[in-house]
Amino acid sequence: MLVDAAVRPEEFPPDFVWGAATASYQIEGAATLGGRTPSIWDTFCAEPGRVVGGDTGDVACDHYHRYGEDVGLMRTLGLAAYRFSVSWSRVLTPSGEVNADGLGFYDRLVDEVLAAGIDPWVTLYHWDLPQHLEDAGGWPARDTAARLAELAAVVGGRLGDRVGHFITLNEPWCAAFLGYGNGIHAPGRHSAADAVAASHHLNLAHGLSVQALRAAAPDALVGTTLNLYPVTAAFPGADSEDAVRRIDGLQNRWFLDPALLGSYPDDVLADLGALVAPTLIQDGDLGTIHQPLDFLGINYYTRHVVRPSAYPGTNAGEFTHRGLPTAANGWEVDPEGLTEILVRVARDYPALPLFITENGSAWDDTVEADGSVVDADRLAYLAAHLAACARAREQGADVAGYFAWSLLDNFEWAEGYAMRFGLVHVDFATQRRTVKASGEWYGRFVRAARDILSP
């Protein structure tokens, strides 16, 4: 599948941020080294049937030992920025003390990234909750929000002299509803009430962590990252439109509104009804969540297409497709949706710089006899979505940067190693890295765009 999209570096401003992204559990490995304790993903992976192939993140890309090589790849690609997350259970012990070895790893990583002329962007929480906190109640427990603020204070205090951008959360919708609602992500719980409670406490953790980061790293810029989807009706009709409203409300507005407007949407509160426990949203919570932000991160992969459920009374709606080409994981390739969501956020919410903090696609990559990986579909996907960013800018959205997902093929959560999103191919048996054709193209594009600074 090839997408015809003409996009030129000249369509982006000289200060546009060009990067790639990863996450700690997906690449680091070294699961028991340096004082790291188990996270919910270690526990989840150990349960038979949870992850495709029984895969785990125990070794992953061995980035813990190979970060120097990986930073060299970033330099080869000409990246201006690198977004990564810290492993909470590597940084803090179960007693809440700082693990010097674990925090020291991120010290070294930041220094290596800076020495390569690349700006580090640090995400505090990318789904790997320490298992001891899950044992104490996890995200459905209010205290977990305060614990993330403690991590923010430690990481901000140690790295804030060199890190200019911090992201509080990555995709809290996934952490709450996939982890505690339908159980396909760690910790694998199945409780609608727990999922709603987790979503509020993640929002609260965001606000508390912004406050902690402002105090610990006053010169840094702080934002959060949400996975946003335009939601489209599969066919016209009042039932379809209500399904769109419900899905959009819980997927998008439930997180955008409290962070950027200081309130939960009334219609979603009504939809959730008794799932919102009387004591869940306490006095002052919305003020805490609604912290001034310096930017908003948006992760985009595809669009939600919904229709009324075929079984009335059981579900508000069902997901379907529009008949577009699909990537290896079944997600439709829909770059127009990226333009739509960017323009909508710019239109409906207070003005902020918008950064695409993840965007990418999985394909069935083939290693050729000469060792190369010619991934034309991923290359076309990147080009089409960069063109979508350019169109959003033309329509008034302040799109200020783009981070490709992902730098490396890695552990893709419940899909294990079955899905490859990387610009760089990883042979997990040997840990050999090979830049794919998409990575070479992205590198040329990035270098051409950065050359605009000094023609």
How far apart are the two ends of the chain, measured CA to CA in Å?
A: 35
290 annotated ligand-binding residue: no
pLDDT digits (tens, 9 = 90+) for 349-392: 999 999 999 999 999 999 999 999 999 999 999 999 999 999 99
412 annotated ligand-binding residue: yes
Q: Is 332 a catalytic residue?
A: no
Contact 124, 152 (CB under 8 A): yes
The phi, psi pair for 428, rounded to 5°, reads -70, -15
211 annotated ligand-binding residue: no
Tokens 């990555």 locate to 170
Helices and strands in the chain: count of H runs, count of E runs: 16, 13
Amino acid 139: pLDDT: 99
Catalytic-role residue among 358, 394, 415, 440: 358
On the CB side of 273, CA atoms within 13 Å amount to: 3
Residues facing residue 119 across a β-bridge: 81
Which pTM does this prediction carry?
0.97
pLDDT digits (tens, 9 = 90+) for 209-218: 999 999 999 9
Catalytic-role residue among 171, 340, 394, 440: 171
DSSP assignments along 390-426, one per residue: HHHHHTT--EEEEEEE-SB----GGGTTS----SEEE
Tokens 């952490």 locate to 175
Distances from the Cα of 358 to the Cαs of 68, 149, 150, 276, 362, in angstroms? 23, 24, 26, 30, 13
97 annotated ligand-binding residue: no
Kind and range of the H or E run holding 379: helix 376-394
Burial 251-289 (b: 16+ CB within 10 A, else e): bbbbbbbbbbeeebbeebeebbeeebeeebbeeebbebb
Q: Is 28 a catalytic residue?
A: no
- Segments making up each domain of the chain, as ranges: 9-451
282 annotated ligand-binding residue: no
Amino acid 1: pLDDT: 38
Token pair of 318 as six digits:
């069902």
Out of 3.40.50.2300, 3.90.660.10, 3.30.70.1340, 3.20.20.80, select the CATH number for domain 9-451.
3.20.20.80
Amino acid 451: pLDDT: 84
Contact 221, 198 (CB under 8 A): no
Q: What is the mean pLDDT of each run of 10 residues along the chain (455 residues)?
A: 66 96 98 98 98 98 98 98 98 98 98 98 98 98 98 98 98 98 98 98 99 98 98 90 94 98 98 96 98 98 90 72 96 98 98 98 97 97 98 98 98 98 98 98 95 62
